[in-house]
Structure 1
Amino acid sequence: MLSSVIIFNLVLHTCLSELDMLHPSRPCTKAKSKNGYNTFLERHVREDIPTDLKKENWKMFINKIGTWNRTIQSFFPFSEKNNVTAVCSSGGKMYKDNLCISKKIFSFITVNIDSKKKIVKSVKRQKQHVILACDKFKTKCLPDHFQANTKKYKPNNNKPDCSKVKIRSINDEEVFSWL
């Protein structure tokens, strides 16, 4: 009887801890969307982004990619793709929930737009630690969301690297081996 109660509590705890997939309690849990990493790259790490800060060039770019519905957009140089992706492993520290914060400072461009008028209000280069939502895609922990770091937080060296977070999965055989 006692073993049944223990097994029930284990199963219940596992199910409840994975219920909130929009805001998991740790990085590297199973991704809600299997295209999340590709969408992240399309939105933030592209080969075709302008390298200057001229509003006209950014207006043409936003027209090209059709993202006038996003009022604030941030873009990394394509050469930083591997470093950005590494934030979800050895290049980042645990921040909170499924978020990791980069160990290094990144340089990226942030574009503010007026969605209704379809104008670029500002384009600025930023240098700071970045915060990314990190989820598990097949066997890799990869970014799928850019979180603004408006308060310029820095990584806490007392927290584990995102790569040190255990990716745990319990299959039916492990949970129900007593049946």
Structure 2
Amino acid sequence: MAALGFGFILAACILLDHQTQARNEAPCQRSKWNNGYNTFVKRHIRTGLPTSLDVDEWRSYIKNNGGCDRPTQSFLHPNDLDRVRAVCSNSGGKTFKDNLCISQEPFSFVTVRSEQGTCGIRKIVQESKHLILACEVLENQCLPVHFEGNAISAKPNNNAKGCQDPDIKGHAPDFKTTWLWLLSAVLVVMFA
């Protein structure tokens, strides 16, 4: 019985450790997900986007190009790709929190809210806001891997560090991981 309890506790600690490692604690650290940038581009910077806010056009576009399973989607114009990538640099972005950077300039994009799983469109909005992006290092470049909503229309803090500031490059120690492994070691000793 003790072995079963130990196994359960060890599995829980490993799962918790995996969750804490899913996101870096600062921008421009090594990515733990090698396909993050490609997925970001596939979801948010697509070609052939509708040029209007017509519900039928967007429903057809999302149905034919994937995304019915996502209740909120934001789409940037493909011509903005270089500007979007620059958000993950000193020249285009400032640190926001965790591994997030915020653009120094606002971007224009379309946000589509839909009924999850049905491709039914609830709302289409043309927005102009500062982008908040998770930025991580892939192949020695700091690149966007996640589009974070900016519901409160946050703006960059001019006193914040740039996103690729030398002080935040590399891989910082992860206190949460250390703490969880310490907890699991204590539990192992307790149940041994």
2:77 aligned with 1:77, yes or no? yes
Superposed, 1:12-161 pairs within 5 Å as 20-89=20-89, 90-161=91-162
Aligned alpha-carbon RMSD (Å): 1.6
Question: How far apart, in 1, do the equivalents of 2:51 and 2:21 lie?
Answer: 35
Question: How far apart, in 1, do the equivalents of 2:31 and 2:64 lie?
Answer: 28
Question: What per-residue deviation string (whole Å, max 9, x for no partner) do you get for residues 116-136 of structure 1?
Answer: 443111111000111000011
Question: What per-residue deviation string (whole Å, max 9, x for no partner) do you get for residues 28-78 of structure 1?
Answer: 111121111010000001122112100111011111122111000000011
Question: What per-residue deviation string (whole Å, max 9, x for no partner) do you get for residues 82-118 of structure 1?
Answer: 0011101120000001000000000000001012443
**Percent of matched pairs sharing the same residue:** 39
Q: Which has the higher contact order (CA 8 A, sep 6+)?
A: 2
Question: How far apart, in 1, do the equivalents of 2:40 and 2:51 lie?
Answer: 19
Q: Which runs of 4+ in 1 moved over 6 A?
A: none
Contact persistence 2:30–2:170 (CA under 8 A): no
Q: TM-score, normalised by structure 1?
A: 0.80
Tell me: CA distance 1:58–1:76, structure 2 relative to 1, closer, same or farther (3 Å): same
Question: How far apart, in 1, do the equivalents of 2:60 and 2:118 lie?
Answer: 14
Structure 1 residue aligned with 2:180 = none
Question: How far apart, in 1, do the equivalents of 2:170 and 2:136 lie?
Answer: 13
Question: How far apart, in 2, do the equivalents of 1:169 and 1:56 lie?
Answer: 46
- Specify every segment of 5 or more residues in structure 1 that has no aligned partner in the other structure, as ranges: 1-18, 171-179
Question: How far apart, in 2, do the equivalents of 1:115 and 1:168 lie?
Answer: 38
